[in-house]
């Protein structure tokens, strides 16, 4: 039985890990931001020093991509310094770190799937702060898994899938951008991969890409959500070339999943995972 601390447990990924965690196999300790702020290095150290954790899963992050363009300091404080604090506590206390990062470490100019060793070049402040977090971890710690993921959605919190469903329920007509190509990823799939790393306990440390298989645009994603949720409303979803944002976004951020597939053979297509989550959504909203 391993002892696992989960930070940022009130976010969508943190909550999904709580839903999926098998508490008979391992002992989980969930810390929300109010329980433990990742910028409070003394508190982190004192909690880690007395608890004998085997793994730390870091789901805590500044995730507002638009907000990061003006709140640059906050983004770096949480995504870069916060990650450093956690890495130091992990190094001091022999804890393995599973840290979640993003496809936004890439500039999107590549025309074929990004591997873990492709050059990074973040083009917005969120991506820059997350990349600095990755660097800080790699400098302090050898026993890390940095999992880059993309376009997360879940039953929890605010995310694209829930926004589309709410708008469709209001009978809105949706104009969704075709500008970005990437892969929607269910937090359930990511949570299962993270828990697999812990259960397996032999997977090599390092950086891993994680998404579903395949790729689409936000427009394609929206249409698939609506098709499963209420197929009569698919006609409400229109393709639009531009979506005005403050932050630049990579136009292409599809992952090469070969390395991850060596360690984990349970990847779904993005369409399968959207369908599964809509089924869950319908059950939980009956």
Ligand X SMILES: NC(=O)c1ccc[n+]([C@@H]2O[C@H](COP(=O)([O-])OP(=O)(O)OC[C@H]3O[C@@H](n4cnc5c(N)ncnc54)[C@H](OP(=O)(O)O)[C@@H]3O)[C@@H](O)[C@H]2O)c1
130 to 149, contacts with ligand X by CB under 6 A? 130, 149
Query: Rounded to the nearest whole angstrom, what is the least distance from the CB of residue 8 to ligand X in the complex?
Result: 3
**If you ran DSSP here, which 8-state letter would residue 96 be given?**
E
Helix (H, G, I), strand (E, B) or coil at 37: coil
Phi, psi of 91 (to 5 degrees): -65, -40
From the list 5, 6, 8, 136, which residue makes contact with ligand X (rule: CB under 6 A)?
A: 8
From the list 4, 6, 12, 188, which residue makes contact with ligand X (rule: CB under 6 A)?
A: 12
From the list 53, 82, 88, 233, which residue makes contact with ligand X (rule: CB under 6 A)?
A: 82
From the list 4, 5, 6, 13, which residue makes contact with ligand X (rule: CB under 6 A)?
A: 13
Contacts with ligand X by CB under 6 A: the residue count is 24
From the list 17, 44, 56, 59, which residue makes contact with ligand X (rule: CB under 6 A)?
A: 59
State which residue has the least CB distance to ligand X.
11
- Asked if residues 75 and 68 have their Cβ atoms less than 8 Å apart, the reply is yes
* CB of 152 or CB of 274, closer to ligand X: 152
* CB of 253 or CB of 268, closer to ligand X: 253
Spatial CA neighbour of 70 closest among 134, 108, 136, 124: 124
**If you ran DSSP here, which 8-state letter would residue 240 be given?**
E
Q: Which helix (H) or strand (E) holds 31?
A: strand 27-31
* CB of 61 or CB of 84, closer to ligand X: 61
**Residue 11 binds ligand X (CB under 6 A):** yes
**N- to C-terminal Cα separation, the chain:** 37
Spatial CA neighbour of 190 closest among 164, 209, 162: 209
- Asked if residues 194 and 57 have their Cβ atoms less than 8 Å apart, the reply is yes
**Residue 38 binds ligand X (CB under 6 A):** yes
From the list 2, 3, 18, 33, which residue makes contact with ligand X (rule: CB under 6 A)?
A: 33
- Asked if residues 80 and 127 have their Cβ atoms less than 8 Å apart, the reply is no
Binding site for ligand X (CB under 6 A): 8, 10-13, 33, 37-39, 59-63, 78, 82, 100, 102, 130, 149-152, 157
């Amino acid at each position: 039985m391993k002892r696992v601390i989960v930070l940022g447990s009130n976010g969508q990924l943190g909550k999904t890990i709580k839903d999926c965690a098998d508490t008979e196999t391992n002992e989980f300790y969930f810390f929300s931001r109010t329980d433990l702020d990742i910028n409070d290095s003394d508190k982190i150290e004192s909690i880690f020093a007395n608890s004998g954790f085997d793994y730390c899963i870091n789901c805590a992050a500044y995730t507002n991509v638009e907000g990061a363009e003006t709140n640059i300091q906050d983004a770096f404080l949480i995504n870069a310094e916060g990650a450093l604090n956690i890495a130091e506590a992990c190094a001091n206390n022999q804890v393995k770190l599973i840290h979640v990062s993003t496809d936004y470490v890439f500039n999107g100019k590549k025309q074929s799937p990004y591997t873990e060793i492709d050059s990074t070049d973040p083009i917005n402040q969120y991506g820059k702060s997350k990349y600095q977090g990755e660097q800080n971890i790699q400098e302090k710690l050898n026993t890390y898994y940095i999992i880059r993921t993309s376009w997360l959605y879940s039953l929890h919190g605010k995310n694209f899938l829930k926004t589309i469903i709410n708008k469709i329920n209001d009978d809105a007509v949706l104009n969704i951008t075709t500008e970005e190509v990437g892969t929607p990823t269910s937090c359930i799939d990511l949570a299962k991969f993270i828990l697999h790393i812990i259960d397996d306990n032999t997977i090599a440390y390092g950086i891993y890409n994680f998404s579903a298989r395949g790729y689409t645009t936000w427009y394609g994603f929206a249409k698939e959500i609506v098709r499963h949720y209420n197929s009569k409303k698919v006609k409400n979803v229109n393709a639009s070339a531009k979506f005005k944002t403050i932050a630049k976004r990579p136009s292409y951020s599809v992952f090469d999943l070969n390395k991850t597939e060596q360690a984990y053979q349970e990847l779904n297509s993005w369409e399968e995972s959207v369908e599964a989550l809509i089924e869950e959504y319908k059950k939980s909203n009956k």
